[in-house]
């Protein structure tokens, strides 16, 4: 069962954009761009090159570049104000909801869909018959549905 898909959107700390605006993609040239480099190339959709291509925009070179081989390090760098990252929704939804991160380009029109990428719940037929598995699956589907609901942060 598909739980939810994934979208990619520019994010940063609120403090980073307090000093200079980031209202349009061209403004990215004034910021350090945080890049996620997956050595296995399992997540090619989480790249600035792909984001600009999907947005049908000319790529912008940032003021600098920081590269990370672990996604959690990239998110931490964005939280710490080191630059602008591509955040994976809904994985960072909590950080957006509590204001730790913001989407400076204002809205999901700047979010790319990660093609056929999604999070799935897979349960064997034997396990699916067990009541505790059914309870957990029902709870997990509820959590996924709640995460997919539009809210003011996203």
| Average pLDDT taken over every residue of the chain | 84
Nearest one of 6, 1, 3 to 92, comparing CA atoms: 6
CA separation for the pair 30, 13 (Å, rounded): 15
- pLDDT (average), residues 107-128: 73
pLDDT reported for residue 4: 75
Q: Among 61-65, 66-70, 110-114, 120-124, whose mean pLDDT is lowest?
A: 110-114
Residue 19 pLDDT class (50, 70, 90 cuts): confident
- pLDDT (average), residues 49-78: 91
CATH of domain 2-148: 3.40.190.10
- Break the chain into its structural domains and give their ranges: 2-148
- pLDDT (average), residues 83-112: 85
Percent of the chain with pLDDT over 90: 43
How many Å separate Cα 55 from the centre of its chain? 15
For the beta carbon of residue 36, count every other beta carbon within 10 angstroms: 20
pLDDT reported for residue 149: 57
**Which ranges of 20-123 does DSSP label H, i.e. alpha helix?**
48-54, 71-79, 93-97
């Amino acid at each position: 069962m598909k739980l939810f898909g994934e979208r990619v959107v520019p994010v940063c700390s609120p403090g980073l954009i307090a000093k200079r605006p980031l209202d349009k993609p061209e403004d990215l040239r004034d910021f350090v761009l945080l890049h996620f480099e997956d050595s296995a190339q399992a997540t090619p959709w989480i790249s600035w090159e792909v984001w600009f291509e999907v947005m049908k925009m000319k790529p912008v070179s940032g003021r600098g570049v920081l590269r990370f081989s672990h996604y959690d390090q990239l998110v931490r760098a964005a939280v710490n104000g080191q630059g602008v990252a591509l955040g994976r929704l809904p994985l960072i939804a909590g950080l957006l909801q509590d204001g730790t991160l913001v989407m400076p380009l204002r809205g999901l029109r700047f979010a790319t869909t990660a093609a056929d990428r999604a999070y799935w719940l897979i349960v064997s037929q034997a396990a699916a018959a067990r009541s505790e598995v059914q309870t957990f699956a029902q709870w997990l589907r509820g959590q996924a549905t709640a995460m997919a609901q539009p809210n003011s942060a996203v």
